[in-house]
Amino acid sequence: MVVDLVIEDERWEAFGLEALAERAVSATLADRAVEGEVALLACDDTRIADLNSEFRQKGQPTNVLSWPSEERGAVAPGGAPYPPTDEELGDIAIAYDTCEREASEQGKSMEHHVTHLLVHGTLHLLGYDHIDDKDADLMENLEVEILGKLGIADPYGEAES
């Protein structure tokens, strides 16, 4: 198992998050030639708003949060992050309510949207970020590449039909 999943909101279990998370996280790690484990908290908007407030001083819900187990960010913008030195890569939390709302608003399937967010969160654990334009371009290009390998269209392009 690559993902240690804790489900706080039973809608995630009905959704089939366990298999989807294993696929998304494994594909991301394989693409970056990294081995390791990710802890995933599957929660609701109330829980993620509390986490967002505690760790980012933003008191509203968000779709996904991530906490790398160590600093891996690149020295220069757009550069490659440092490789992990530990098998425990970090933690991700994902909120059902926000994911469902965003998927609907963006005309995307929930499965594809959640897969994108898990790839995104895993890349954060590996030291990728989108703070500046060069880092954002690198991270988005990796997301598109990984999702393409999973048969999912560019999430930054048009809505699914």
Q: Are 41 and 91 in contact (CB under 8 A)?
A: yes
- C-alpha span between 58 and 108 (Å, rounded): 26
Residues facing 65 on adjacent strands: 93
Considering the entire predicted model, what is its pTM?
A: 0.96
Domains with residue ranges and CATH for the chain: 3-149 (3.40.390.30)
**pLDDT tens, position by position, for the chain (161 residues)?**
799 999 999 999 999 999 999 999 999 999 999 999 999 999 999 999 999 999 999 999 999 999 999 999 999 999 999 999 999 999 999 999 999 999 999 999 999 999 999 999 999 999 999 999 999 999 999 999 999 999 999 999 855 54
